[in-house]
Structure 1
Amino acid sequence: MVSLVEPISKLENHPVVDNAIDELASKGYAIVPNFINPENADYLYRYALGLKDSDWQQAGVGRADNYTTNTQVRRDRIRWLQAQDAVERAYLDTMATLQQQLNRQLFMGLFDYESHLAHYPPGAFYRKHLDAFKGRSNRILTTVVYLNPDWQVHDGGELVMYDDQHQVLQTVLPKAGTLVLFLSDTFVHEVREGHRDRYSITGWFRHNTSINGVIDPTR
């Protein structure tokens, strides 16, 4: 089967990937337009549209025993990606190749990757938060890839990243194919309210803090 997402291995030594890794090393984050090509972004978008309602769950906050849903904090719905699904595996394979490149060039020691589709209906948001707290999570590097075609400024739904002085650092319009990478325990961020259905794939590269073969913390 031909991969539905263009493998990153085809982009080795390509300026798009090399520049992203350089930016990540110098700033702790990178924004990469056209990380996946428009055809594959559209395929993943249509795949998400075709999922049944029962394929999604209400997103929550916290992990494992501390996991709760709170619609005052976030109102998106999610679907965890599984390697058993061919479409989802193609995306996971792409990110596995990116993981290898990050480890080779930045010596980050990334061990595995977890990821989910995210659907933000009109009016949905995710308030300011960190994806990880120093010393309390094995999530190291956050990834977000956007899927919606023809997203416009008036559609809202921007990702807003803040610096350590709580000033706006970056505002990212969720354009199809764009990848955002940032250190999970460093950048407070939020998803602003959108005015149309918004689809993306969020994931985390993680360190290995497993005990007796059980990766901790579980999602």
Structure 2
Amino acid sequence: MGAIDLSDIDFSHDYPQSLFAKIASDLVEQGYSIQLQALPMQMTQALYEQVTQLHEQEFSRAGIGRKDEFQQNQFIRRDEICWIDGSTATGQSWLDWTAQLQSYLNQRLFLGLFSFESHYAHYAPGDFYKCHFDAFRGQSNRVLTVVTYLNHNWQKDDGGQMVLYRHQGDVEGTQILPAMGTVAVFLSEEFPHEVLPAMRDRYSIAGWYRLNNSLSGRIDPPR
């Protein structure tokens, strides 16, 4: 299948306010929202095609920590990532969608979301990510997490579910099947979560909205 050309497509009409309203309502009520087939179908397929056609050298082994604290630890996580910078029409369509969501949540919930960063993630068979938080409480480096799944015909036996725990004492959690177009949004400081081992190649996008942590006029970069 050839690559989908999104350069001439206007997705502005594909952002249903009802979807954003449901996400906002869920965040207020329970701190997380799980929406099936949330992205426009054509965009979802284009993102899938892009991530599966990336060359191996375009991915890098994922790590933990920021800046000087960054380290790779395959005991904790084994996925590989490729950052999305908007240099392609497909990547820009995703960033436009997240910008629309950011604007809506800021207007509706007064969150003050300032910047957004995201990357493709590839989990090869056997890869996982052990239980972790996306942000440490009080640091405000990441406020809201957005995860989008790009996997056709994913079944429960394929593994790779994200398990979202309501608190550190929660032993059951909520399992999210990484099916095509599913979007999960949750408060980064509040919910520990993990990715169970995948039984086949698993693709997703992980992204984070952040506050403005600039000091003395210097912009705090997203990553």
TM category (shorter chain) comes to over 0.9
Distance in 2 between the 1:75 and 1:163 partners?
A: 24
| Partner in structure 1 of residue 3 of structure 2 | none
2:101 corresponds in structure 1 to: 98
Could you tell me which runs of 5 or more consecutive residues in structure 2 were left unpaired when the two chains were aligned: 1-6
**One of 64, 79, 82 as aligned partner of 1:61:** 64
Counterpart residue identity of residue 54, structure 1: Q
Structure 2 equivalent of residue 36 of structure 1: 39
Report the residue type matching 2:171 in the other structure.
Answer: Q
Match of 1:187 among 188, 191, 197: 191
Q: Is the contact between residue 36 and residue 177 of structure 1 (CA under 8 Å) also seen in structure 2?
A: yes
Match of 1:141 among 134, 141, 144: 144
* Paired residue secondary structure (1:30): strand
1:2 to 8, 21, 30: 8
Given that 2:14 and 2:40 are in contact with CA atoms closer than 8 Å, whether structure 1 keeps it comes out as no
Number of the residue aligned with 2:74: 71
Kept in 1, the 8 Å contact 2:46–2:90? The answer is no
Within 5 Å, give how 1:95-134 maps onto structure 2. Answer: 95-134=98-137
Q: Distance in 2 between matches of 1:60 and 1:152?
A: 28
Instruction: Kindly provide the CA deviation profile for residues 34-71 of structure 1, in whole angstroms up to 9, marking residues without a partner as x.
Output: 11133322221111111111111000000011000001
SS at match of 2:143: strand
Deviations for 1:125-183, whole angstroms, at most 9, x for unmatched residues? 00000000112242100000000111011100000011222232311000110100000
What SS does the corresponding residue of 1:139 show, helix, strand or coil?
coil
Please tell me the root mean square deviation across aligned C-alpha atoms, in Å.
1.6
Aligned 8 A contact 1:3 1:90 in 2:
no
5+ residue gaps, structure 1:
none
The TM-score with structure 1 as length reference comes to 0.93
Give the superposition deviation at 1:213.
4.5
Per-residue CA deviation, residues 79-98 of structure 1 (Å, 9 max, x unaligned), is 11102222211111110011
Secondary structure at the aligned position of 2:17 is classed as coil
Q: Does 2:153 match 1:153?
A: no
Task: Determine which of 76, 81, 86 is the counterpart of 2:84.
Answer: 81
Identity of aligned residues (%): 41
> Is the contact between residue 142 and residue 204 of structure 1 (CA under 8 Å) also seen in structure 2?
yes
Amino acid at match of 2:176: V
Which 4+ runs in 1 deviate beyond 6 A?
none
CA distance in 2, matches of 1:214, 1:116: 24
The TM-score normalised by the length of structure 2 is: 0.91
